Amino acid sequence: MSTNRKMLIQLTWRRFRSAIQMLIRSEQGPKAMIFAATLVVMMLGINGLNVLNSYVGRDFMSAIENKNLSVFQAQALLYVLVFIASTVVAVLYRFTEERLGILWREQLTWRLTEAYLSQRAYYRLDSATGVANPDQRISEDVRAFTTTTLSFLLLIINGTLTAVSFSGVLWTISPRLFSVAVVYAICGSALTILLGKRLIRLNYHQFDMEANFRADLIHVRENSESIALAHREGRFKARLKKRLDALAGNFRRLIRINRNLGFFTSGYNYFIQIIPALMIAPLFIAGEVEFGVITQSTMAFATLLGAFSLIVTQFQSISAFTAVTARLHMLSDAIEKAHQTTPCAIQMLEDPYRVCYENVTLQTCDGSRILIDDLNLEIRRGSRWLFSGIDDAPKVALFRATASVWESGSGTITRPGLDDILFLPERPYLPPGPLRDVLVRVGLESVTKDAEIMIVLHHLGLESTIARAGGLDAEKDWDDVFSIGEQHMLSIARIFIAKPAFVFLDRPGSSLPKSQISAILDMLTTRNIGVVILAKNGESRLHYDSSLEIKSDGKWEIHSEPNATPSDHHDDPRDLSC
């Protein structure tokens, strides 16, 4: 066995063991242990019934050979009772296995989902690790992993119990037949590994190729209008054809290897049926054993070979399982790496009454250009500020740095906690769910009444918009229901419902008229909410207390409006200097 293959087996085993340990240590661990113990007891019952069945079958066939009607009837009744008991135990075994499987899937899926969403790992994941399709790995790969892992674990345990149970049966019939079974299984397993070893790599790539093709199809669906307006169908046809050719080519290679493996495994399974007869029939002809021993030996040989030949019978599933295990382990490592990214040089402090930038320098992600150079600025609660500049990149970088999602830079940013400051991107985002959940911040559902929501919607002229959508309990694809302007206004409504200390609006003029932005600014000022607007299209012609102009070389200037008066809404007596 090559070094790489040994390392792969050892790594897969460590991942397998780690996943089981995580389940045992989780909150669901005690319940999982009860299910597992129940399965082991049922396995013992199934194997005991199978051994009993082999002896009942032997005596049943011998009674037919001897034309003994009374023994035949007794054995037939016993046969029926064994079948009924086996059926009950087998069904309960399958039920318990499925319950344990869904319990494990729920635990592992939630653990990965929680880690994926914590500390904004989902935001850093691609840039930190390049792991593709985390959504597919969390949903489909977890399902495949838990189902297959549980199946293999039970197969190994059951195979061990079966080998112990039927080794004695086969040995009493013929020690030579038992030896043939062991040698046959070892040779079959070795040849199966030799013929199918490439399946692991091909299965791994197939998962990614299928996910990439599906991701592009989803992209077409979600951006159908933009693609239609830009006439980009030809480009997407070519891209999807390339994806389809890649996954089809890889799948054809999988089929070829499975074909070659199938020739061997099918022949292997067929010979299992005849080998016992070839060895025991001469003994029957010589009068050394009864006729029922032939059927008993066939059953015992096949059952024992099934226990010894897990690699032969399950190799295709094992190869897919190894690929799924590797993909989930890569995702887990990537999330952990995203959590452990080098701390940003920008220090974040919290103060509910101000936003302050002290010696803040921001660079492009690759560090090749300075976007903002040594910014020192204080924004008081209740004031209006405009961030302007020819280049959008510095403004957007400052917007994101204030929201703690820009990590290339240095200095100190003081702002309210993330629960008391809102950031509205240029393209509004309305998450899936009822409209009430779209408008109300997480954690405020119980204290925010519908009457309060409707008052805000009335002031913003959104009552008819909500009625058209079906009310606050409606749940639809909001991108299809509302225009960009309506989506933006609903995001604005969320500000007045949440009542933050500050709000940052990224280029609202892209989707709202100047008059509407002016009215929103007045409403924010009335409620003592500090507001910062990133200028793009007409926002600069509105009234502000001050403005920050960021130049293309990273230099900056602060301008005070000639008619501006110091904000009298500040209610903190402390010194607000940086």
Tokens matching residue 405: 């999602």
Task: For residue 532, name the pLDDT band (cuts at 50, 70, 90).
Answer: very high
pLDDT for position 2: 52
Span 216-256, pLDDT tens digits: 888 787 777 667 766 677 778 888 888 889 888 888 888 88
Residue ranges covered by each domain of the chain: 3-339, 346-560
Which amino acid appears at position 196 of this protein? G
Half-sphere exposure of 343 (CA within 13 A, CB side): 5
> Residue 181 burial (CB < 10 Å; 0-12/13-18/19+)?
buried
Kindly report which listed range (3-7, 398-402, 476-480, 509-513) carries the lowest average pLDDT score: 3-7
pLDDT at 562 over 60: no
> Looking at the domain 346-560, which fold is it?
Rossmann fold (3.40.50)
* Residue of 335, 329, 323 whose CA lies nearest to 126: 335
Q: What is the CA radius of gyration of the chain?
A: 35
Question: At 323, which amino acid appears?
Answer: A
Residue 58 predicted with pLDDT over 70: yes
In this prediction, residue 509 carries a pLDDT of: 85
- CA 190 to chain CA mean position, Å: 35
Supply the pLDDT for residue 566. Answer: 40
pLDDT over threshold 90, residue 578: no
* 144 close to 320: Cβ distance less than 8 angstroms: yes
Distance between CA atoms of residues 171 and 272, nearest Å: 17
pLDDT for the residue 317: 67
Per-residue pLDDT for 412 more than 90?
A: yes
Query: Which residues on adjacent β-strands are paired with residue 350?
Result: 415
- For the segment 548-555, the average pLDDT, to the nearest whole number, is 89
In order of 30, 103, 320, 325, 327, the CA distances from 26 in angstroms are: 8, 11, 26, 20, 22
What CATH fold (topology level) applies to the domain 3-339? Answer: ABC transporter transmembrane region fold (1.20.1560)
CA nearest neighbour of 125 among 338, 333, 330: 338
CB-neighbour burial class of residue 39 (10 A; exposed 0-12, middle 13-18, buried 19+) = buried
Token pair belonging to 461: 């002229």
* pLDDT exceeds cutoff 90 at 201: no
Identify the bridge partners of residue 388 per DSSP, sorted by sequence position.
549
319 is written with which tokens? 């190869």
DSSP string of 465-524, one letter each residue: HHHHHT-TT----HHHHS-HHHHHHHHHHHHHHH--SEEEEE-GGGTS-HHHHHHHHHHH
